[in-house]
Structure 1
């Protein structure tokens, strides 16, 4: 069985206890069975305020984000149009100022 991402903060630092999972980052705990139930349904991605996101939506950053491997910063309030939802630790693939960027859903709100 693979170790799941936390359903609350979606980080992958998870401890495997005999009957439940525990997130090291936020402390959320959930039973092993809950992960099996979630895998059966369609993937649901929500923004920082709990609004459901779909392909083609426009989103706005809620805080300044540093670009990994660069000294550039993307300012809060920057809008990204026509997002794509992808699998992986960064749920959103989009273009900002002509550059392809991967974003976590917890740092955006639906525009």
Structure 2
């Protein structure tokens, strides 16, 4: 299924506990596996099931990814130095994450 708004996709998603959405946009950047955490979901992502600490980490990660997505084009056009302080912090966090070994969390 390529179109998430397709009626058959919507009908199937209503019966799933989780959905992992792969992104052509992410794979075009040579990031694999190319799943999109902003569109993917799980009913098990709630504090009662995974604990408050992990739930908060997921919310913060999604917030950072969403904000980065919003400022990415501005940064490419104007440059990093023209971003506000919050945007610079988000870019630095994402850069550090992408360049880490993923064995430890630096959030």
TM-score of the pair, normalised by structure 1: 0.28
Larger Rg: 2
TM-score by length of 2: 0.28
Query: Which structure's residues are more often helix, by fraction?
Result: 2
RCO higher in structure (CA 8 A, sep ≥6)? 1
